[in-house]
């Protein structure tokens, strides 16, 4: 299995500000896992809150490459355990690799990830949403 990654800078339409920072762009990384001519993709979104940045995640992914050599799409749990032992601090890198491995497994089997996870017809799980600090006149209004 071969691992590679490349950066992606996402420019925000408007600055996003919370108490500890203001963002005008997000620096994410795409992760690509290749196995027998198939490719699985994942995305890492580093968070300063967890002490991560794009450079640290890129370094973690570089270190993860040798750890997944010889793995297959069917050994995702073994790969995650190995990565958790060797790179416990690299949350974004491990999450991106996990998604890439699920994507690859789905392609090998010809099945979408949601079906592999038994989520067909399931209600989407609750998520969180952070509201940025702004003046009321600058907050986007719902369309339609």
Helix (H), strand (E), coil (C) string for the chain: CEEEEEEEEEEEEEEEEECCEEEEEEEEEEEEEEECCEEEEEEECCCHHHCCCHHHHHHHHHHHHHHCCCCCHHHHHHHHHHHHHHCCCCHHHHHHHHHHHHHHHHHHHCCCHHHHCCCCCCCCCCCCCCCCCCCHHHCCCCCC
The answer, yes or no, to whether residue 100 has pLDDT greater than 80, is yes
CATH of residue 70: 3.30.390.10
The answer, yes or no, to whether residue 61 has pLDDT greater than 80, is yes
pTM of the predicted structure, to 2 decimals: 0.82
Per-residue pLDDT, 142: 67
Residue 56 forms part of a structural domain: yes
Question: Domain count of the chain?
Answer: 1
Q: 144 pLDDT band (50/70/90 cuts)?
A: low
> How far apart are the C-alpha atoms of 120 and 134, rounded to whole Å?
38
- Burial, 51: exposed, middle or buried (Cβ in 10 Å; 0-12, 13-18, 19+)? exposed
Using one digit for the tens of pLDDT, what is the confidence trace for 18-41? Answer: 888 888 898 999 999 999 999 999
Residue 121 forms part of a structural domain: no
Residue 8 forms part of a structural domain: yes
Q: 115 pLDDT band (50/70/90 cuts)?
A: very high
Structure tokens at 6: 């490349």
**66: containing domain:** 2-13+24-113
Residue 40 forms part of a structural domain: yes
Structure tokens at 140: 């986007």
Residue 135 forms part of a structural domain: no
To the nearest 10°, report the CA torsion of 32, 44, 59, 80: -70
């Amino acid at each position: 299995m071969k691992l590679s990654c490349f950066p992606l800078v996402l420019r925000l339409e408007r600055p996003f500000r919370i108490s500890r920072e203001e963002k005008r762009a997000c620096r994410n990384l795409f992760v690509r896992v290749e196995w027998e001519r198939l490719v699985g993709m994942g995305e890492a979104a580093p968070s300063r809150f967890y002490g991560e940045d794009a450079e640290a995640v890129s370094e973690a992914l570089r270190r993860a490459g040798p750890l997944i050599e010889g793995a297959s799409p069917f050994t995702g749990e073994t790969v995650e355990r190995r990565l958790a032992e060797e790179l416990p601090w690299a949350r974004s890198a491990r999450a991106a690799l996990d998604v890439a491995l699920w994507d690859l497994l789905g392609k090998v089997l010809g099945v979408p990830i949601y079906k592999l996870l038994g989520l067909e017809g399931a209600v989407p799980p609750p998520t969180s949403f952070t509201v940025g600090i702004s003046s009321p006149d600058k907050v986007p209004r719902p369309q339609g």
